[in-house]
Amino acid sequence: MLLKTLSESSGVSGGEQEIRNIIRQQVSPHVEEAETDVLGNLIVRKKGEKEGPTLMIVTHMDEVGMIVVGFEKSGLIKFSKVGGIDDRVLVSKVVQIGPQKIPGVIGAKAIHLQKPEERKKSIKIDDMYIDIGAGSREEAEKKVKLGDYISFITRFEEIGDHCAKGKALDNRVGCAVLIEILKKQNYPYSFYGVFTVQEEVGMRGAGAAAYRIKPDLALVVEGTTAADVVEVKKEGHVTTLGKGPALTIMDASVITHRGMVQFLKKLAEQNGIPYQIRRFTGAGTDAGRIALTREGVPSAVVSVPCRYIHNPAGILNLKDMENTVKLVDVFLKNLPEGGFNNEGID
Amino acid sequence: MKELIKELTEAYGPSGREETVRKVIEDKIKPMVDKMEVDSLGNLIARKKGPGKRVMLAAHMDELGLMVTYIDKNGFLRFSNVGGISPHILLGERVVFANGAVGTIGCEKIESMKDLNFQKLYIDIGASEQKEAEDQVKIGDIAVYQRGFQDLGRRIISKSLDDRVGCAVLIQALKEIESPVNDLFFVFTVQEEVGVRGARTSAYRIKPDYGLAVDVTRTGDTPESETMAVALGKGPTVKVKDTLIITHPKVKKIMVDAAERTGIPYQLEVLERGGTDSGAIHLSREGVPSGVMSIPCRYIHTPSEMVDYDDVINGVKLLKSILETPLD
Amino acid sequence: MDITEFLQKISTTPGVSGYEDRVAEIVVEEFKKNSHQVRRDALGNVIALKKGLNSGPDSLKIMLAAHMDEIGLMVSKVEEGGFLRISPVGGIDPRSLLNQEVLVHGKKDLPGVIGAKSPHILEPDEMEKGVKMDKLYIDLGLSEAQVKEVVSVGDIITIRREFVRLGGQMAAGKALDDRAGVAVVLQCLQELQGLKHDADVYAVATVQEEVGVRGAIVSAYGVAPDMGIAIDVCHGDMPGVPEYRTSFLGKGTVITTGPNIHPVIYKKLVELAEEYRIPYQKDAAPGPTGTDAWALQISREGIATGLVSIPLRYMHTSVELLSMEDIKHSARLLARFIAAQKQDGLKELTECF
């Protein structure tokens, strides 16, 4: 399964080499051009039957992770987080470091050795180390370099009822959707597919790509929070697994273009594709940067709900992914020749 | 101008949903401008041509709002804030949606006011079940404060004086300037309250030589308020610094000189927290020397903001005087 | 000009964010002697161009960015009795301000002192707490009327501090963050006089870094370089701070890697430091570097960005301390880097991905 390959490969923000190579290999046979820019974004152009509005479909390929920031004399490795991770999930996880994928474990003081008051508190990253089994700093530095990126090792698995478990579903699921789309043929208009870097450290790649492409409109494909779990009241669910792709009205980075959102809703209804509205206005996506590039770009966001994003093991519903592919597909097939403007929005 | 301010402040227009306000402004300024257009984010850009430098003036049309994020089985609406609203001022508040649906804000049982946050609040639109509520309001719809304009004589109370009073100042100046010395772009921006977004894209489009935002600012003239040397009724301000900009010294001088030349009262403003459209304009492309003229305003971001009408009138005068300055 | 003298001169010259003119004048003067043309842009960035061999419109463009602004204060209110309330410009720890001597730049420069209660009249619990900005005030020794004649709300204030030469090659003073970087850029331009380079070098002393890398945003857009290197300061080693969070004073220039940094620029800087035996240290930044590099990287279509830093102790106080040796090593590395860049090297910046 494509999503398995994507999920299990590493690509922490700034260190996207492996995931980029996999994606490039997947899409190259199906696109007209594929190039990387100076930040590492992978930009491909898909030829359509004719030229229409300049559209970019954007999905980020990076994941949250860690980076090596220092070595102890003992050979233990100090690390910092790249992107937003809750310190508390780090302890007792298995990780891979650098291009050689050196395995290691995140250790902390055993509970027996902690004082009673320590046990009540969460363990902070400053009190954790990565142990690669090196006996000294010199030995550790032979295998691992300062600045090497670190990702979790989590096996991707299909579990439960049409669900899948894995790491980096935010946003390898977006990558999977865009790759599927790029493999299809005969869209009416040409468009750009952009796999961006560094979304998780501040949406760094998307703005540069949008500046270069000068799009008339942009569609961002994301993996978004689903909090439809026990412990969270219904009004806090944000999105629900199995209820179809989520459309964003507003998040902390963007107010999406209403004409585009209405168009997506209408297409979903006409084609029997389930969809939901993302019921939360926090967090941001690449759309935030793109929408404010140059003179402004009408933008929308379609997301696949994922539980436990930014954690080593997330869960999504594969039907939501399939329905997201369908929605993007009908969007491309029905795209208005003139794009979207502010007239005629009710 | 009070009628104009009333009409503008009472119009519905949270961030991203500014079209009603835009329509009001379009109708008013159309006969007076050389060119008018709406860009892809919804900014209204009106040009009044002159021989001199390109000057971008910005006042934002958007106001704060509450976006519905969930409708429960009993018809209560949960919401998030659009822009900087404190949950404390929402208690007992009435809100209205674009289609006229009205609701009041209720709160779950809480032990202490310290526990109050948006998750504890809901809007009650009088529906008794989900379906009934959904017939009037959908997830993603945005409500705004339902408060009328109140004329107290010298002073005015209303919702969204931030920044419809800035829009009014721009419109009035536009009316009164017949043949501008400089090439003027009056921009009524969108999405200021969610991160000065409209000003960013419109400044890129216009490529101005100078930028000037007209917005409201806080005051330090109420009981036990923060330390701030701005008061109601002492004139519009020339901003020196806020969170998003340090006014270009050249622009500060132009503004101060314009006030002193014409004897308009003014105040110098240092704002500890807050920013305006100029924060975005001055960083556009290769940089745009920019400043801000503010109308002092009490109770900003509440349903009852207060300004002094003399400050508004003097604001129009000061703006005109600034714009009459030949710029190099 | 000797680089230590230059640093001393700019360190002691006022240049708070947004009001950099006085320091800019000195920088313009010195950059002029080592470049072909110097201009200031709309926000006041100093931009010097030192042309490469056979310079033309297609020449490789490298931008060096060091910020010349310093953190400071601004008058926010004149209180009864003529005392001045203050507002910070940039990230200032109010606890470092107690009883500092200052200059208030009103219609003329006025010396003053930040008031602090004598221990005799302090409440015991006051000593325990850190002082807050809104409790601080400046005393000019003038009456309210006299103050109002020369001081207005919005006037700039700087800390008064002489530049101190310490033992070894160490020096201390105010605003070494990032006037030390400006000194690196000047020395790099001087070194380049003796080297052949193809690239057009844009040496930029940026404004308003301390309030949000604002000068770098607009100057990077204006210059539109192929490569950009920011030169800033980083935390020096000191007791109580883990080694992995700091770099050693006097042990060479610090080369940073991480998401903000282009992998090829990092690799080349390290290789050249090795090749020319320039002392260097490495640092990894997991996200924002808090420097002009953060703005450079995402200008226009993206810029291949590097970061070179000088270790410095007591950052954002008036006694910032560093080693002049680190400045010299940083300058030498940058000059070697520039001289090594060829037009056809550009391809590597995208093809490496």
Q: Tens digit of pLDDT for each residue in C180-189?
A: 999 999 999 9
| Cβ–Cβ below 8 Å for C78 and B229 | yes
Residue B20 shares a structural domain with residue B168: yes
Chain C CB contacts of A13 under 8 Å are 259, 287
Residues B102 and B35 grouped into a single domain: no
**pTM: predicted TM-score of the whole model, two decimal places:** 0.95
- For tokens 């402040």, the residue is B9
C233 within some domain: yes
8 A C-beta contact, residue B215 and residue B292: yes
> What residue has token string 């199995």?
A242
CB < 8 Å to B16, chain A: 250, 255, 258
C185/C126 same-domain check = no
**Residue type at B307 in one-letter notation:** V
The Cα–Cα gap between C37 and B114 comes to: 60
Which residues neighbour B186 within 8 Å (Cβ) at sequence distance 6 or greater? B29, B33, B45, B46, B47, B48, B57, B170, B174
| B70 plus B95 within the same structural domain | yes
Q: Are residues B19 and B112 in the same domain?
A: no
B59 neighbors B163 (Cβ within 8 angstroms): yes
Domain of residue B293, residue span: 2-63+159-323
Question: Which among B100, B117, B145 is the end of a domain?
Answer: B145
Cα separations (Å) of B76 from A73, B81, B97?
60, 16, 15
- Report CB contact under 8 Å: C87, B270: yes
A36 touching chain C per CB within 8 A: yes
CA distance A209 to A41: 7
CB-hemisphere CA count at 13 Å for B190? Answer: 28
What are A303-333's pLDDT values in tens digits?
999 999 999 999 999 999 999 999 999 999 9
Answer yes or no: do B168 and B132 share one domain. no
Residue among B42, B67, B72 whose CB faces A235 most closely? B72
Contact at 8 Å (CB) between A256 and A213?
no
* Segments of chain B with pLDDT less than 70: none
pLDDT above 90 for A259: yes
Pick the CATH number of A65-152 from 3.50.50.60, 1.10.3720.10, 3.30.70.120, 2.40.30.40: 2.40.30.40
| Subunit contact C284:A67, Cβ cutoff 8 A | yes
* Beta carbons of C287 and A212 less than 8 Å apart: no
Q: Report, as residue numbers or ranges, the catalytic residues of B.
A: 192
Q: Name the residue among C42, C152, C219 with its Cβ closest to that of B289.
A: C42
Q: C152 lies in a domain?
A: yes
The subunits that touch chain A, with at least 3 C-beta pairs less than 8 Å apart, are B, C
For residue A72, give the chain C residue with the closest CA.
C244
Neighbors of chain C by Cβ distance (3+ pairs < 8 Å):
A, B
Same domain, yes or no, for B87 and B138?
A: yes
Report, as an integer, the average pLDDT of A121-139.
Answer: 93
CB-based contact C301 A211, cutoff 8 Å: yes
Query: Cβ-count burial of C258 within 10 angstroms (0-12 exposed, 13-18 middle, 19+ buried)?
Result: buried
> In chain A, what are the domain boundaries?
2-63+167-334, 65-152
Same domain, B180 and B292: yes
Asked if residue C165 is part of any domain, the answer here is: no
Cα torsion B162, B164, B166, B167: sign: positive
Binned at pLDDT 50, 70 and 90, residue A343 comes out as: low
Q: Do residue B72 and residue A342 have CB atoms under 8 angstroms apart? A: no
Q: Are residues B28 and B175 in the same domain?
A: yes
pLDDT value at A295 more than 60: yes
- In chain A, the largest separation of any two C-alpha atoms, in whole Å, equals 70
Contacts of B among chains (3+ CB pairs under 8 A): A, C
- What CATH code is carried by the domain that includes residue C231? 3.40.630.10
* Residues 53-112 of chain C whose Cβ lies under 8 A from any Cβ of chain A: none
Domain assignment present for B151: no
Any idea what DSSP says for residue B52?
A: S
Domain-terminating residue out of C104, C130, C157: C157
Residue B179 in domain:
yes
Residue B254 lies in a domain: yes
C331, part of any domain: yes
- Please say which residue of B112, B145, B178 terminates a domain: B145
Is B77 within the bounds of a domain?
yes
Task: Look at the block and give the residue holding tokens 């979903």.
Answer: A268
From chain C, which residues contact B within 8 Å (Cβ)? 17-19, 21, 41-43, 45, 74-78, 85, 87, 89, 134, 152-154, 208, 211-212, 214, 217-219, 221-222
Place of tokens 């309330």: C85
Assigned domain for C166 exists: no
**Angstrom distance (rounded) from CA A156 to CA A175:** 15
Share of chain C above pLDDT 70, in %: 100
Determine contact, residues A248/A300, Cβ cutoff 8 Å: yes
Condensed to tens digits (0 to 9), the pLDDT of residues C206-228 reads 999 999 999 999 999 999 999 99
Q: Of B116, B145, B174, which one is at a domain's C-terminal end?
A: B145
Q: How far apart are alpha carbons A341 and B13 in whole angstroms?
A: 19
Q: In the sheet where B183-189 sits, what is the strand order?
A: B35-38, B44-48, B183-189, B54-60, B210-217, B290-296, B237-241, B267-270
pLDDT of residue A344: 46
Domain shared by C337 and C273, yes or no: yes
The 10 Å Cβ neighbour count of residue B72 is: 15
Which residue among A69, A81, A204 places its CB closest to the CB of C297?
Answer: A204
User: What is the crossing angle of helices B19-29 and B2-10, to 10°?
Assistant: 150
SS3 of residue B306 by DSSP: strand
For residues C274-284, give the mean pLDDT: 98
A127: closest CA of chain C, how far (Å): 12
Q: A65: distance to nearest CA of chain C, Å? A: 9
Give B229's DSSP letter.
S
Looking at residue C168, its pLDDT comes to 87
CATH entry, A2-63+167-334, from 3.40.250.10, 3.40.630.10, 1.20.1250.20, 3.30.1380.10: 3.40.630.10
Check C301 against A68: CB less than 8 A apart. Answer: no
pLDDT at A342: 61
CA distance A43 to A58: 9
Q: Are residues B59 and B93 both part of a single domain? A: no
Q: Report the alpha-carbon distance of residue A180 to residue B157 in Å, rounded.
A: 56
Round to whole Å and give the CA distance between B236 and B120. Answer: 39
- Residue C241 to residue C323: CA distance in whole angstroms: 19
Interface contacts (A, B; CB < 8 Å): 67
CB interface of A with B, residues 250-309, below 8 Å: 250, 255, 257-258, 277, 279-282, 291-292, 294-298
Both B288 and B319 in a single domain? yes
Q: Do C301 and A38 touch (CB under 8 A)?
A: yes
**Which of B53, B196, B227 to substitute to test the interface with C, most C CBs within 10 Å?**
B227
In angstroms, the separation between the Cα of residue B300 and the nearest Cα of chain A is 21
C76 and C63 fall within a common domain: no
**Domains in chain C, number:** 2
By C-alpha distance, which of C272, C196, C258, C197 is closest to C230? Answer: C258
Question: What own/partner pairs with CB < 8 Å and gap ≥ 24 does C93-99 have?
Answer: C93/C316, C93/C317, C94/C130, C94/C131, C94/C132, C94/C133, C94/C136, C95/C130, C95/C131, C96/C316, C96/C317, C96/C318, C97/C73, C97/C131, C97/C136, C97/C159, C98/C131, C98/C136
**Domain identity same for C64 and C90:** no
Q: How many CB pairs under 8 A join A and C?
A: 87
Residue B265 lies in a domain: yes
Number of domains comprising chain B: 2
Residue B29 in any domain: the answer is yes
Considering only CA atoms, which of B126, A38, B80 is closest in space to residue C226? A38
Do residues C30 and C58 both lie within one domain?
A: yes
Q: Both C294 and C192 in a single domain? A: yes
Based on its alpha-carbon atoms, the radius of gyration of chain A, rounded to whole angstroms, reads 21
Residue B117: exposed, middle, or buried by beta-carbon count in 10 A (0-12, 13-18, 19+)? exposed
Comparing CB atoms, the residue among A38, A41, A147 nearest residue C304 is A38
Task: Give the 3-state DSSP-derived string for chain C, with helices as H, strands as E and coil as C.
Answer: CCHHHHHHHHHHCCCECCCCHHHHHHHHHHHHCCCCEEEECCCCCEEEEECCCCCCCCCCEEEEEEECCECEEEEEEECHHHCEEEEEECCCCHHHCCCCEEEEECCCEEEEEECCCCHHHCCHHHHHCCCCHHHCEEECCCCHHHHHHHCCCCCEEEECCCCEECCCCEEEECCHHHHHHHHHHHHHHHHHCCCCCCCEEEEEEECCCCCCCHHHHHHHHHHCCCEEEEEEEEEECCCCCCHHHCECCCCCEEEEECCCCCHHHHHHHHHHHHHCCCCEEEEECCCCCCCHHHHHCCCCCCCEEEEEEEEEECCCCCCEEEEHHHHHHHHHHHHHHHHHCCHHHHHHHHHCC
**Rounded distance between C-alpha atoms, residue B315 and residue B24, angstroms:** 21
User: A25 vs chain B: nearest CA distance in angstroms?
Assistant: 36
CB contact under 8 A, A42 and C353: yes
Do both B43 and B81 map to the same domain? no
Distance from CA of A72 to the nearest CA of C (A): 9
B16–A345 CB contact, under 8 Å: no
Distance from C-alpha of C210 to C-alpha of C291, rounded to nearest angstrom: 9
> Is there a contact between B248 and C17 if contact means CB atoms under 8 Å apart?
no
User: Pick from C157, C184, C216: which residue ends a domain?
Assistant: C157
Does B164 lie in the same domain as B285? yes
Which pLDDT does position A345 carry in this prediction? 47
Q: What is the pLDDT of residues B110-132, one digit of tens each?
A: 999 999 999 999 999 999 999 99
Q: Is the link from the previous residue into A171 a cis peptide, with omega within 30 of 0?
A: yes
CATH number at residue C102: 2.40.30.40
Residue-number span of the structural domain to which C324 is assigned = 3-70+174-351
How far, in Å, CA of B25 to CA of B13, rounded?
12
Q: What is the CA radius of gyration of chain C?
A: 21
> What are A337's two structure tokens?
């020749």
A10-29 residues labelled b (16+ CB within 10 A) or e (exposed): bbbbbbbbbbbebbbebbee
Closest CA to B156 of B323, B324, B313, B304: B304
